[in-house]
Structure 1
Amino acid sequence: MSFKGFVEGGIAAVVAGCATHPLDLIKVRMQLQGEAHSKSLSEGQSKKSHVKMAVQGGVLGVGLQIVQKEGALALFSGVSASALRHAMYSTTRLGLYEVLKQQWADEDGKLPISKKILAGMIAGAIGAAVGNPADVAMVRMQADGRLPFHQRRNYSSVADALFQMVSTEGFSSLWRGSFPTIQRAMVVTAAQLASYDQIKESLLASEVMRDGFATHFAASFLAGLVASIVSNPIDVVKTRIQNMMVVPGLPPPYVGSLDCALKTIQSEGPLALYKGFVPNVTRQGPFTITLFITLEQIRCLLRNF
């Protein structure tokens, strides 16, 4: 098995993840909007006023609020965890996807879209399982600034976050939300990688475009859009489960993905599962474009190695 694909994918993913981190942070904050008010809603507050309290503005509005309240550097809260996450998660999924493609390709090197999707799902699931600890740390560090000061976790780094989670919540907390994380990774990886390959191959086969920057840009843009649409509901559930505070002796806010989804819909409506969609697609687009363009350039540089 060649490790070249793992190295290429890991470098490209870390670059893309760090470059688009502020957009990912805004997405997480928007996905958590309204959650803090669910208690007051259950105690008799009207749904109309609840929704009004939850709505805090669009992408720019949330971004400006973060800068005004927490400072410009707050947009990069959890960036160390993001880098570690992609070094573990994306390195695994991108490298394994290439391995599976090579193993399953026919004599002409071609692979049907169904096998590309399956390869993406397998690679995404394994990558998510490997990277879940860093993913939990990243979500918590990104969400910390929205909490009242006395409730903040105040992790100083991803290493501090992982250490505190293990020491206060147990080793299993590192894999909190792993099921929705794996679900999301399977969907995102299959949508992102399979659609990029398929769109790129179609553009080149039809001779509409030649292999180069423009083709890579078009294919990655469309792949990012597809990935955002299919993954957003799972992403909302994943974010809320990973960010939930579990008080010893009390039942957790959510007991699983389905419970979280149902409670979210019940208290905030079905469209709550698409909270953060605009920043998600705004982030997923640049991330996917940066990822694949960087990956293509790294492949060119390492072609002879």
Structure 2
Amino acid sequence: MIRFKVILIHSIKTTLIFRLGIYQQADNQGFLRDEKNNTKFTNSLVMGAFAGMVGAFFGSPLQLVKTQLMSYSSEKIAVGTQHAHTGMTYAMSKIYKKNGLGGLWRGAHGMMLRNSIGSATQIASYAVCKEWMDDNDMFQQSKYLSAFVASNIGAVVKTISLTPMDVIMTRLYNQAVDVNGQGLLYSGIVDCAKKITKTEGLLAFYKGMGPSYLRQAPHTVLLLVFWDMLKDVQKSFEEKA
């Protein structure tokens, strides 16, 4: 359990460092704002997608191991491929020995597409909603109330757009592979989507959407509200300097 938590924390940290760092640098350079300093929705969407894709690439090996460890269970109740990893180090070593360095990035394309969609919709919807609320004096009773409301809207948008990719990503990561490191069930994102649609129907892409929202909402709210607070702290330091 402790090992799984460590992997999860490192996976989240790796993704967030790249994602928010790249997006914030683009904002600092003025790429995301117009002459009135309002967020350009399209630019925010594109940069959010790019930042999410880069973060996903670097965090993919940890996500792969986390998914396989989560799927491991007793043989009596086992569902899906069982990789029998005993921990993070063992898993990464086993994957590397069997499929080489590239094996650690198996399914990364699914993760990159997934995170680009999630990052773009989450950040762009948050930024535009918060600015609209602030410009129209909505939820101004507290300094960060508009950020709280806007981040909840961002969580809803992200969950709706992200759940299909979560389903695909999980199946790509957890499938068994042959000696060449190729998936035995799905050859890629499109193949996986086709097979799910054919055998389970379109609603299968939204399996677990309720729990997904309950996971995304706290994450999105805490992430974006604290991000807003940290930007205010940085601004105050710069004004005093």
Match of 1:162 in 2: 92
Match of 2:215 in 1: 283
Paired with 2:132 and 2:75, the residues of 1 have a C-alpha distance of 47
Paired with 2:207 and 2:77, the residues of 1 have a C-alpha distance of 25
Any conservation in 2 of the 1:101–1:111 contact (CA below 8 Å)? no
Structure 1 residues 37-86: Cα deviation after superposition (integer angstroms, max 9, x where no partner): xxxxxxxxxxxxxxxxxxxxxxxxxxxxxxxxxxxx5xx77222211112
CA RMSD of aligned residues (A): 2.4
- Deviation of residue 161 (structure 1)? 2.3
Alignment of 1:257 onto 2:189: yes
Give unmatched runs, 5+ long, in structure 2: none
Alignment of 1:145 onto 2:145: no
Match of 2:108 in 1: 178
Higher relative contact order (CA 8 A, sep 6+): 1
Match of 1:245 in 2: 176
Paired with 1:234 and 1:183, the residues of 2 have a C-alpha distance of 8
Any conservation in 2 of the 1:125–1:182 contact (CA below 8 Å)? yes
Alignment of 1:82 onto 2:8: yes
- Deviation of residue 251 (structure 1)? 6.4
Aligned residues: 231
Match of 1:97 in 2: 23
- Deviation of residue 262 (structure 1)? 1.2
Give TM-score, length-normalised by structure 1: 0.69
Alignment of 1:187 onto 2:117: yes
Match of 1:124 in 2: 52
Any conservation in 2 of the 1:224–1:288 contact (CA below 8 Å)? yes
Q: Percent identity?
A: 26
Q: Report the CA distance shift for 1:147/1:181 in structure 2 as closer, same or farther (over 3 A).
A: farther
Structure 1 residues 77-126: Cα deviation after superposition (integer angstroms, max 9, x where no partner): 72222111122111101110111122213454333111111111111111
Alignment of 1:216 onto 2:147: yes
Any conservation in 1 of the 2:98–2:179 contact (CA below 8 Å)? no
Alignment of 1:236 onto 2:175: no
Alignment of 1:115 onto 2:43: yes
Give unmatched runs, 5+ long, in structure 1: 1-72
Paired AA for residue 194 in structure 1: A
Match of 1:272 in 2: 204
Give TM-score, length-normalised by structure 2: 0.86
